[in-house]
Amino acid sequence: MPIIVNLDVMMAKRKMSLNELCEAVDITLVNLSKLKTGKVKAIRFSTLESVCAALDCQPGDLLEYTKEEE
């Protein structure tokens, strides 16, 4: 998939654990874990907004586009 989720990078920069982020955004640990590992096909804007607010970042800090190798 050409979209890379850099949630783990932002969490490390903010020194926040997955459990802390889970409590801050009120999203289940399982769903945040899937987002962190990039095993999701979509993300709601409301979820993205909550994560950005908790990590004090922009959506572009979390999501990255790369071209697929052919």
Query: What separation, in Å, do the N-terminal and C-terminal C-alpha atoms of the chain show?
Result: 12
Task: Give the pLDDT of residue 38.
Answer: 86
Looking at the 3D structure of the chain, how many domains does it have? 1
Which CATH number characterizes residue 16's domain? 1.10.260.40
- 65: in domain: no
SS3 per-residue string spanning 6-38: CHHHHHHHCCCCHHHHHHHHCCCHHHHHHHHHC
- 66: in domain: no
Q: Which domain holds residue 42?
A: 3-55
- 29: in domain: yes
d(CA 2, CA 14): 25
> Which residue, 7, 2, 1, is CA-closest to 60?
7
1-44: per-residue pLDDT in tens? Answer: 689 999 999 999 999 999 999 999 989 999 999 999 989 889 99
